[in-house]
């Protein structure tokens, strides 16, 4: 079944997507053995700045976060899309 998406991950916004995914997984993981915790701690190559407290309203990270919460993105699918956009941008 396809997941309904509103925001596409591109070479221009993959960092915002990673920020939104990081904070979503941080807020909603089910413990250290869960898939979201695995994304947060090992699979997602994103480390927030010390001043960060969540997704930003100044970029698309809050939109990705909201879409994850609404079920419009699956966390693993978003991670895969981030990886693909990153690889495309850095060819």
This prediction has a pTM of: 0.92
Distance CA 52, CA 1 (A): 35
How many residues make up the chain in this entry? Answer: 91
Integer angstrom CA distances of residue 16 from 34, 35, 66:
23, 21, 13
Asked if 21 and 68 count as a contact pair (C-beta separation under 8 A), the reply is: yes
Q: pLDDT tens digits, residue range 6-27?
A: 799 999 999 999 999 999 999 9
Please report the DSSP string for 54-77 in residue order.
S--TTSTHHHHHHHHHTTSS-HHH
User: Once rounded to an integer, what is the mean pLDDT over residues 71-88?
Assistant: 96
Q: pLDDT tens digits, residue range 23-67?
A: 999 999 999 999 999 999 999 999 999 999 999 999 999 999 999
Instruction: Identify the residue whose tokens are 């509103």.
Output: 6
């Amino acid at each position: 079944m396809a997941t309904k998406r509103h925001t596409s991950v591109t070479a221009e916004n993959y960092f915002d997507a990673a920020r939104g995914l990081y904070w979503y997984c941080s807020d909603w993981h089910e413990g250290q053995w869960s898939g979201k915790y695995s994304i947060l701690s090992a699979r997602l190559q994103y480390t927030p700045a010390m001043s960060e407290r969540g997704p930003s309203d100044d970029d698309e990270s809050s939109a990705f976060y909201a879409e994850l919460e609404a079920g419009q993105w699956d966390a693993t699918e978003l991670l895969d899309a981030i990886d693909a956009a990153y690889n495309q941008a850095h060819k």
